[in-house]
Homo-oligomer: A and B are copies of this chain.
Amino acid sequence: MRSPAGVAAELCSTALAGDRRSLAKLLTAVENRTPVAEAALRTLYPLAGRAHLLGITGPPGAGKSTLVAALVGELRSAGRTVAVVAVDPSSPITGGAILGDRVRMQAYAGDRDVFIRSMAARGHAGGLASTTGAACAVLDAVGFEIVMIETVGTGQSEVEVAAAADTTVVLEAPEMGDEVQAIKAGLLEVADLVVVNKGDRPGAQRAASQLRAMLGGGRGGLHGPPVMITTAATGAGVPELLVAIDRRRAEGALRDDGAARLARAEAEVRGALADRIGRRLDEAGSATAREAAVRDVAAHRIDPYTAADELLAGLVGVEAGSRR
């Protein structure tokens, strides 16, 4: 058996040379947060930072996957490279695969400059944000110019993931149900660009006007985020949207000291820290203590904070010992 570092070194080397199978293996490692992923990130992270990370979110039925497919088509027509990470909320257990417009995306099956990946969040709490950040860093490092992160914008974690992109596009559609309407309000807070999709439906213009009125005085002073109209299914409005996205890059959305980049870095650091501590809790010795603590909490013999303090004292003891 080769060491994780050895496996990672080979995968990084071949992925950087353009091998898509190695890239896919790296992303699987990232998704499962293995030691190979950790070793690979040490190599790849310093190479990342050039891609424009684009979050695409919105309520169910707004047409996210169709818009992503249309944006991919527009980018490819211009000879640009693009990767898509579809963060999949459908199954906490098996990891389903509901996002991604598979029919339209099959057009790119033989295109090496498009890479599409569904990801399910697994493992410890908070994994979604840091796992997605790590996946973006890998895709960025191997040279994709734009990395899109597609999420259904109804869950806390999913919205946070999209909001941590350099540029966050929030999709709306005219005439959605009440609950979806209410969800929109929360989503709009994180939008850099607002898109009313299904622009060929009656009410699209009115929805856009209402959104402009609502957002006019918000976020960032005098002007709210631009509100655009697209019909992703026909491609109408998509070139204009891409121009607006590119303008964000020109305006400095990718600066290392930008709020989105700092927030993403913080999520990744906290995720890595949680990985470290989680792994240490799972190690022999600690695992027994953790299981006993969990049983005591489940039986309400002790509270979670007391249990956490006991476990932390144990971890620190182990750590202090190992450093002597």
- Per-residue CB contact flags for chain A residues 75-100 toward chain B (1 = under 8 Å, else 0) read 00000000000000111111010100
Of the listed stretches A199-207, A228-236, A242-250, A298-306, name the one at the interface; the rest are far from the partner chain. A298-306
Give the CA-CA distance A93 to B265 in the complex, in Å.
19
Structural contact, A90 and B190, CB atoms closer than 8 A:
no
In the complex, whether A227 has a CB less than 8 A from a CB of chain B is: no
Write the nearest CB–CB distance from A121 to chain B, whole angstroms.
Answer: 5
Give the CA-CA distance A47 to B274 in the complex, in Å.
30
* Copies of this chain present: 2
In the complex, whether A269 has a CB less than 8 A from a CB of chain B is: yes
Of the listed stretches A9-17, A19-27, A179-187, name the one at the interface; the rest are far from the partner chain. A179-187
Write the nearest CB–CB distance from A283 to chain B, whole angstroms.
Answer: 14
Q: How large is the interface on A (under 10, 10 to 19, 20 to 34, 35 or more residues)?
A: 35 or more
Contacting residues of chain A (269-324) with chain B, CB-CB under 8 angstroms: 269-278, 290, 293-295, 297-309, 311-313, 316, 319-320, 323
Secondary structure call for the A interface: helix
Of the listed stretches A103-111, A153-161, A209-217, name the one at the interface; the rest are far from the partner chain. A153-161
Contacting residues of chain A (123-181) with chain B, CB-CB under 8 angstroms: 124-130, 133-134, 152, 154-160, 163, 177, 179-180
In the complex, whether A61 has a CB less than 8 A from a CB of chain B is: yes
Write the nearest CB–CB distance from A65 to chain B, whole angstroms.
Answer: 8
Residues of A within 8 A of B (CB): 38, 41-42, 44-49, 59-61, 89-94, 96, 98, 121, 124-130, 133-134, 152, 154-160, 163, 177, 179-180, 182-183, 185-186, 189-190, 256-257, 261-262, 264-278, 290, 293-295, 297-309, 311-313, 316, 319-320, 323
With A96-B182, A269-B311 known, 9 other A-B pairs at CB within 8 A are: A89-B159, A91-B189, A124-B126, A155-B157, A265-B304, A268-B297, A273-B277, A276-B309, A277-B312
